[in-house]
Amino acid sequence: MKQFKLKIHPPSYSDELLIFNSSDLPEVNIFDLLKIYHCDSSPTDSVLVQVNSLKHGDLPKDTISVESSLAQSFGLVVFRDVFVLKTEPEMRQSTCLRYRSRTSTSVGVICGE
């Protein structure tokens, strides 16, 4: 688990749902699941986002950016500290949706626990 500062980007900035510097999370690979939640919240109040790209983001160290409509849907607040951890898929009931960026044809799976 690592602490990051949360930024939010509009779909016009990037087609990616999640942007981070790969040097901040060197153990993360494409298709891994990252659990994201506010530091002052319970880990059960989290969102799981699948990594679709390892492009090096143009962000300050220890900062991640989440696409704005995703952040709004799951109650993520800009400039708050969040924990990010790589997680394994779990076979349990959660709220999942297929998410399509408005400006992209890519589809991701996002789960809120």
DSSP E strands, the chain: 2-9, 18-20, 33-38, 47-50, 63-67, 81-87, 95-100, 107-112
DSSP-H helix ranges across the chain: 68-73
Q: Kindly indicate the confidence band of residue 43, based on its pLDDT and cuts at 50, 70 and 90.
A: confident
Mean pLDDT of the chain: 82
Contact 113, 90 (CB under 8 A): no
pLDDT in tens, 46-91: 888 989 888 766 899 999 999 999 999 889 999 999 999 998 876 4
At residue 41, does pLDDT exceed 50? yes
User: What domains appear along the chain, each with residue ranges and CATH number?
Assistant: 2-112 (2.40.40.10)
What mean pLDDT comes out for the span 8-14?
A: 92
- CB-based contacts of 30, cutoff 8 Å, min separation 6: 51, 52, 53, 54
Q: Kindly indicate the confidence band of residue 112, based on its pLDDT and cuts at 50, 70 and 90.
A: low
| pTM (predicted TM-score) | 0.78
- In this prediction, residue 57 carries a pLDDT of 65
- In this prediction, residue 102 carries a pLDDT of 45
At residue 113, does pLDDT exceed 80? no
- In this prediction, residue 105 carries a pLDDT of 40
